[in-house]
Structure 1
């Protein structure tokens, strides 16, 4: 779910309003409290693959936007569909517009796909958008969110997202490692009721509080508009100039926090954030303030979504809620991290600086 720098924008914050359920024993839970199933548990037998290839099934990918993240999810899904003999007949980009998503569904319906993969842009609007596909028996697999009133196993096959708790936990572990397990940190969280970021942010906070007794969260600030990140960071540094570390909810606002630290001539305070961005990764490999980035495995998200769709086409019971792994990326593994997350090479600037 991710969702990831590319989709966690101010526009999206206004569209998605899912309350984040409480953690279940330190694990990611679904929008309705579903227990997680690792994406690695999704498997098809040789006989099932042969049956899918005989079925002449088709699929459509109805995305919410275009980005490196979406490109990687699409690649993972397309590669798996190709392996299963399922033809992708349409790929769309709603541009964060729920009305456009409805139009995209209507357009794609003319191609009669057997399965649709999509990220619903808002609960009520998406319930209407996918109604016709649901009634026609098209197998629906959703990324991170679910339309209002839809029931798993009846209206859709499965939800697939990141291991949200692990993303926050790994961020806490990485920052703690950089600080030698002690110090004063600030927590910049996403100030919106949004299922994905809420779980990630709270996982960081709970991990620091529970696992690192000598690290204290001495200040916290919510952020809804990434453009305010530099201003917020300046306020934190004015109040507590000797901060040892800062957690930032995702990479775009982390760029603003980094700018504030540079303006203050601060080379000491460490940053940890979630989701890949070239400026943040470049600072990290140059030995700057950024100590690590935790990212999702977007390509694996796509593979899992396609496999879930195959479960639906086979009439095979699918898990309600599937999570793909998180990965901690540092200077030492940045090239491999980009490959694992986005299934592409790291930017040339990052590779050159890492040398």
Structure 2
């Protein structure tokens, strides 16, 4: 049985404004966790935002189809008796689904999973988890850096030991593909942000005041996706006005933040939240306030939010990450590593917009299963 370490801690991280093609037409109004700020509606950009994006080191994304192994290479991996471990940044249904997809790929390749850890976005916890995992001497580590800056030192012992790092979304700062790690596997962040904007825009009929709750930390993956939502909202729905922006680092704080946001801005009819577990607090705040009129969109397929959506509640759209395909890509990248085969520096999986109308299709695309009875009521 793989080692499974769950060590919840408080999180602390710092904010960064992401510069990229999708944010070129925007000016981000700064705010800190727990303090509501109001902003003017951004003018619709004259030029349509680009769906192109680059990785944290300027990597251009390829696709999952760019990863392939020959029969001879597969046989070589199977004969190698390789092992793998997961050193995650946090836990969620999304991470669980990615791990499921990666484990399935490892199983096909004869790679044994010996450990799985999560750090609740705490850098010190992740450092401790890595040391515990290294004692098991895995050949491959699948990881997301909880804090990119400190992760450079955290993961250096793994690099020094020759462990092959397969990175989901966010590598340690200063690390490069083909050197300290094999490849990054992520979703197409700009496509995800556009899907969020379209889901909310369509639910609101393209007009009304909205709130924007973004991840207030130096986290490449969420930063670009959040900014893409703003860019596409400004371009595609110029009659929707962002009247309040709130950053958060602690998922447990989102209920309080959302409660303050809607109290100060009662005209809000829609809210974007960076990801699903953070959106659960927003949903609780809306229910407490009796605000059934406020529409919510977020990223990741979460059973609690999906059940609310299917029942006609506040949630009107979720963006699936293609989680099992992300996992498959990470498993393939791990195999590339032990074969010393050069992989694409960045691999992007296509996300999917999910509503109550296509929940079964979306769940199958993301998790490879039908949605649970708690979602469908069946």
Q: Which runs of 5+ in 2 are unaligned?
A: 1-5, 23-49
1:159 is aligned to 184
| Gap change, CA 1:142 and 1:17, over 3 Å in 2 | farther
Is 1:184 aligned to 2:244, yes or no?
no
CA deviations 1:264-291 (Å, max 9, x no partner) are 4433332212223333222211112221
Structure 2 CA distance for aligned equivalents of residues 330 and 139 of structure 1: 38
Farther-moved stretch of structure 1 (47-56 vs 300-309): 47-56
* 1:12-51 equivalences in 2 (<5 Å): 12=11, 14-15=12-13, 20-23=18-21, 25-51=50-76
Q: In the alignment, what sits opposite 1:128?
A: 153
Distance (whole Å) between structure 1 residues aligned to residue 116 and residue 349 of structure 2:
22
Gaps of 5+ in 1: 1-6
CA RMSD of aligned residues (A): 2.9
Closer, same or farther: CA 110–236 of 1 in aligned 2, 3 Å: closer
Indicate whether 1:259 and 2:280 are aligned: no
Q: Deviations over 1:138-178 (max 9, x none)?
A: 21112222223323212211122222222211010111111
1:220 matched to 2:218? The reply is no
Of the three residues 304, 309, 331, the one matched with 2:329 is: 304
Taking a change above 3 Å as real, the CA distance of residues 235 and 156 of structure 1, as seen in their structure-2 partners, is closer
What residue in structure 2 maps to residue 280 of structure 1?
305
Give the C-alpha shift of residue 53 in structure 1: 2.4
Conservation of the 8 A alpha-carbon contact between 1:127 and 1:149: yes
* Alpha-carbon distance, 1:351 to partner: 1.5
CA contact (8 A) 1:16 1:122 kept: no
Cα pair 2:299 2:319 within 8 Å, conserved: yes
Shift of 1:10: 8.8
Q: 1:253 and 1:47 mapped to 2: Cα distance? A: 45
- Residue by residue over 1:30-82, the C-alpha shift from the partner in whole angstroms, topping out at 9 and shown as x without a partner, is 12222222223322222322332233333222333444333222221111112
Q: Name 2:226's counterpart in structure 1.
A: 201
TM-score (norm 1): 0.84
Query: How far did 1:305 drift?
Result: 0.9
Q: 1:15 to 1:344 in 2, by over 3 A?
A: farther
**Does the Cα contact within 8 Å between 1:157 and 1:318 map onto a contact in 2?**
yes
- What whole-Å deviation, never above 9, does each CA across 1:108-158 have from its counterpart, x for those lacking one? 444433222122233354333332331232211122222233232122111
Decide which moves more: 79-88 or 59-68. 59-68
Say yes or no: does 1:57 pair with 2:57.
no
Task: Report if aligned partners of 2:15, 2:216 keep a CA contact under 8 Å in 1.
Answer: no
